[in-house]
Amino acid sequence: MRLSTRGKYGLYAMHYLAQHENDGPQSLSHIADIGVPKQYLEQLLGGLRRSGLIRSVRGVNGGYQIAKPSSEITVLDILDAMEGPLELSDCIANGRCCSKAPQCRVRDMWEKLTDTINHELNSVTLKDML
């Protein structure tokens, strides 16, 4: 089980923007200096914007900035925006379980683990990582 680069890059970009929380909009080129291909990063930032985590300013001297204080943005917010919700098993995800549900202990384990991970991710804010 491995996280995709989307999640990683998104987190790094948000980390950068949190560092410049009060410095006005940061241009794509500047953010890309963290080591992400510029055009690919542009896509990812689009997703973060559509999720309401960042704002963009167009035109000269434009760029991106976080839409909320860094203390109100969690790692879970970012990963959900970049990768969609955590769905360990389609048994959990879409309710299409095997015939043995609901007394299936394997399913119980998936659910518990999903909760644990989400809780952990939601307990860390961007501010915590500065």
Partner DNA sequence: TTGATACCCGACCAGAATACTATGGTATCA
Partner DNA sequence: TGATACCATAGTATTCTGGTCGGGTATCAA
State the Cα–Cα distance between residues 31 and 49, nearest whole angstrom.
15
Contacted entry of DNA, a copy of itself, none for residue 71, CB cut-off 5 to 8 Å set by kind: none
The reply to whether 120 sits near a copy of itself by the rule CB under 8 A is: yes
Binders in 42-71 for a copy of itself, by CB under 8 A: none
- 65 DSSP β-pair partners: 55
Binding mask 66-105 for a copy of itself (x = CB under 8 A): ---------x---x---x--xxxx-x-x----x------x
Picking from 54, 65, 71, the residue whose alpha carbon sits closest to that of residue 27 is: 65
Query: Half-sphere exposure (CA, 13 Å, Cβ side) for 64?
Result: 28
**Which of the 8 DSSP states describes residue 74?**
B
Looking at beta carbons only, is 58 or 105 nearer to DNA?
58
Decide: helix, strand or coil at residue 73: coil
Question: What is the closest distance, in whole angstroms, from the C-beta atom of residue 31 to DNA in the complex?
Answer: 8
The reply to whether 111 sits near DNA by the rule CB under 7 A is: no
- Piece in contact with DNA (CB under 7 A), picked from 16-24, 34-42, 102-110, 115-123: 34-42
Exactly one of 24, 37, 52, 69 binds DNA (CB under 7 A); that residue is 37
11-27 core/surface letters (b: 16 or more CB in 10 A; e: else): bbbbbbbbebeeeebbe
Query: 84: which 2 tokens?
Result: 């969609």
Residues lying near DNA in the complex (CB under 7 A) are found at 4-6, 25-29, 37-40, 42-43, 45-46, 49-50, 56-64
